[in-house]
């Protein structure tokens, strides 16, 4: 009980929260943590946007991100308390990188299989054995798994800047909200520009390698800023390729799913 009080007691100390909220200097630290969280979450946003694509409607895709964000907040609270011990959990990174590689294999294997049969099966149907809410909660579970994997780096980086768990928690919560916004933007772009989906899975493969390289036995860290610039560059190249292939914007016509979503919202 004393250990739990030591780890999580500061979160329930009203004076601790009052000191942080009324301190301008602490908010500057929180702002820097939000920026770091956004940089470190570029990989997560790409993975989440790709994962939600298996759901049949935009409404369900947005809803899965909504449920996922609350799971992220709860897990982030738990992780910050034991942040100093996370450095030993490198096995999670290995499992995470292997899982990401499996997602890439599943996507491209499904694409090749459909091409061989010369049938046009939408990527959303690759999980057709899961239907309705089973599929929805399966996607939410995958989102939470990715949050667990990617939270380790974010929390450790945040604790290196500030040892105050309340500051780290506030910065992390704001950062998660920003990252979910980025994931939603990417998700919507994927519906309008089909080239973005295979591009996202290529990036996921690179992310898997990046994650695996950070285990202690290898210990190679790719700077988040450089990786963020690389991702933006890949996005720009993909967009240019799309508009070259569709100079008159033919590929930007709303899909049947988009039309259904609009009619459902009215």
**11 lies in some domain:** no
**3 lies in some domain:** no
Residue 266 to residue 257: CA distance in whole angstroms:
15
148 falls in which pLDDT band (50, 70, 90)? confident
**13 lies in some domain:** no
pTM exceeds cut of 0.75:
no
Tokens of 175: 């950062």
Which pLDDT score, from 0 to 100, does residue 103 have? 82
Which pLDDT score, from 0 to 100, does residue 248 have? 65
Q: Report how far Cα 210 is from the mean position of its chain's Cα atoms.
A: 15
Which pLDDT score, from 0 to 100, does residue 141 have? 86
Tokens of 45: 């946003």
Number of domains, the chain = 1
Q: Is the pLDDT of residue 119 over 50?
A: no
**Which CB contacts under 8 angstroms, 24+ apart, belong to 23-30?**
26/164, 26/167, 29/161, 29/162, 29/167, 29/171, 30/167, 30/170, 30/171, 30/174
**256 lies in some domain:** yes
**8 lies in some domain:** no
**Residue 255 belongs to what domain range?**
23-265
Residue 237, number of CB atoms within 10 A of its CB = 12
210 falls in which pLDDT band (50, 70, 90)? confident
Residue 184 to residue 196: CA distance in whole angstroms:
14
**5 lies in some domain:** no
Question: Nearest to residue 114, comparing CAs of 102, 126, 101?
Answer: 126
82, 7 Cβ separation under 8 angstroms: yes
| pLDDT tens digits, one per residue of 51-110 | 888 888 888 888 888 888 787 777 777 777 665 555 556 787 788 788 889 888 988 888
**7 lies in some domain:** no
Which pLDDT score, from 0 to 100, does residue 31 have? 80
Phi, psi (5° rounding) for residue 71?
-65, -35
**90 lies in some domain:** yes
142 falls in which pLDDT band (50, 70, 90)? confident
Residue 135 to residue 130: CA distance in whole angstroms:
5
| pLDDT tens digits, one per residue of 195-208 | 888 888 888 898 88
Q: Is the pLDDT of residue 124 over 70?
A: no
């Amino acid at each position: 009980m004393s250990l739990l009080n030591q780890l999580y007691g500061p979160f329930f100390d009203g004076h601790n929260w009052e000191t942080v909220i009324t301190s301008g200097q602490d908010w500057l630290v929180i702002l820097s943590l939000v920026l770091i969280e956004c940089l470190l979450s570029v990989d997560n946003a790409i993975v989440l946007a790709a994962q939600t694509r298996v759901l049949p409607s935009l409404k369900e895709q947005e809803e899965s991100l909504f449920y996922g964000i609350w799971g992220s907040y709860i897990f982030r609270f738990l992780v910050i308390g034991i942040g100093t011990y996370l450095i030993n959990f490198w096995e999670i990174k290995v499992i995470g990188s292997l899982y990401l590689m499996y997602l890439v294999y599943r996507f491209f294997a499904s694409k090749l299989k459909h091409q061989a049969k010369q049938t046009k099966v939408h990527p959303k149907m690759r999980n057709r054995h899961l239907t309705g809410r089973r599929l929805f909660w399966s996607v939410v579970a995958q989102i939470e798994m990715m949050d667990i994997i990617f939270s380790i780096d974010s929390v450790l980086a945040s604790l290196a800047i500030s040892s105050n768990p309340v500051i780290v928690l506030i910065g992390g919560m704001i950062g998660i909200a920003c990252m979910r916004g980025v994931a939603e933007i990417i998700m919507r772009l994927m519906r309008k520009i089909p080239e973005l989906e295979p591009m996202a899975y290529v990036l996921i493969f690179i992310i898997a390698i990046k994650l695996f390289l950070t285990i202690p036995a290898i210990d190679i860290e790719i700077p988040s800023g450089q990786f963020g610039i690389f991702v933006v560059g890949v996005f720009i190249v993909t967009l240019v390729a799309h508009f070259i292939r569709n100079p008159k914007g033919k590929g930007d016509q709303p899909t049947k799913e988009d039309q259904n979503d609009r009619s459902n919202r009215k």
